[in-house]
Amino acid sequence: MPMPARFAIEIEREADGRWIAEIPMLPGVLAYGAKREESLRLRFHAQTAGVSLTAQQPLNNVVRTSLEALAAVLGGTQSLHTNSFDEALALPTEEAVRVALRTQQVIAFESGVANTPDPLGGSWFVEKLTDEMEAAAYDYFARIDELGGMVEAIRANFPQREIADASFTYQREVDERRRIVVGVNDFVAEDEAETPILRIDPALERKQVERLAATRARRDGATVERALVELKRAAAGEANLMPPIIAAARARATEGEMIAALQEVFGTYTESPVF
């Protein structure tokens, strides 16, 4: 669950997700076929939004990420990833990664927000937003059902079009300064210093190629082939793919070999452009 920087909405969205998950188990309501109490337990991971990171004045991203992380905690996330402030420019440096980690630790151990399960429970504003988002979510569910389910919706480019439309709307608001992004379309610094970025040593690629070749030389080729055949057999049916994937990994099949095996069964998806 990515966390765009709209503080109250993100807190509410997580609460709303739990409510929607519980509805199928309410008395007389089995809309989604839930049969066990465990089905009510919406556990989720939240990640701060890469889309909110800016290349301009990247240190401002520390503040954005902190707000998004705090919203996730107030919403009850079980797992959290905080982006590094320089990820709009490149892979993060060690310093940027450390700041991202310290952001979580300050929230966890200094803010006190983790001491209460639902600090904003009962807030009229959060409850109002929950009602509005719940109604909007069920509207989406109905539209997807009308298209024949999520697979058919994807084939019809429905989610892709919704994402493209939302991206266009967002960018237009930024360009027209109806949405202020600090350091981008307002509060701009003309003499901004260059931010140091992580640069990967090309020698690392050669070392990885050598490690892969050594692994292939050491492994039992027949065992790998059997594992990949079993993976394809499972993919062709209705079996859970995780056990054969784990077995293939333990046999030292590479990620590429496993993907190629699955592509033989499923083919390769190519998304149609949406404008």
**Is residue 97 within a helix (H) or strand (E), and if so which, with residue range?**
helix 94-109
Beta bridge partners of 48: 3
**CA 177 to the chain's CA centroid:** 28
Please list the ranges in the chain whose pLDDT falls under 70.
Answer: 1-6, 8-34, 40, 275
The vertex-185 CA angle with 180 and 190, nearest 5°, equals 140
Q: Residue 3: which region, alpha, beta or left (left: phi > 0; alpha: psi -120 to 50)? A: beta
**DSSP H helical segments within 176-274, as ranges?**
203-218, 221-236, 242-250, 255-266
- Neighbour-count burial for 209-222, b at 16+ CB within 10 Å, e otherwise: eeeeeeeeeeeeee
- How much is the CA Rg of the chain, to the nearest whole Å? 23
CA atoms of 7 and 14, how far apart (whole Å): 12
How far is the C-alpha of 180 from the C-alpha of 174, rounded, in Å?
A: 6
CA distance 275 to 60: 32
- Secondary structure of residue 8 in the 3-state scheme: helix
pLDDT value at residue 126: 84
Determine the Cα–Cα distance for residues 156 and 271; give it in Å rounded to an integer. Answer: 10
For residue 29, what pLDDT is reported?
A: 44
Phi/psi at 156 (5° precision): -85, 5
CB 183 within 8 A of CB 189: yes
Question: What is the pTM for the complete model shown?
Answer: 0.81
pLDDT value, residue 192: 85
pLDDT at residue 251 in the model: 98
pLDDT for the residue 12: 57
Question: So what's the pLDDT on residue 38?
Answer: 74
What pLDDT score does 20 carry? 58
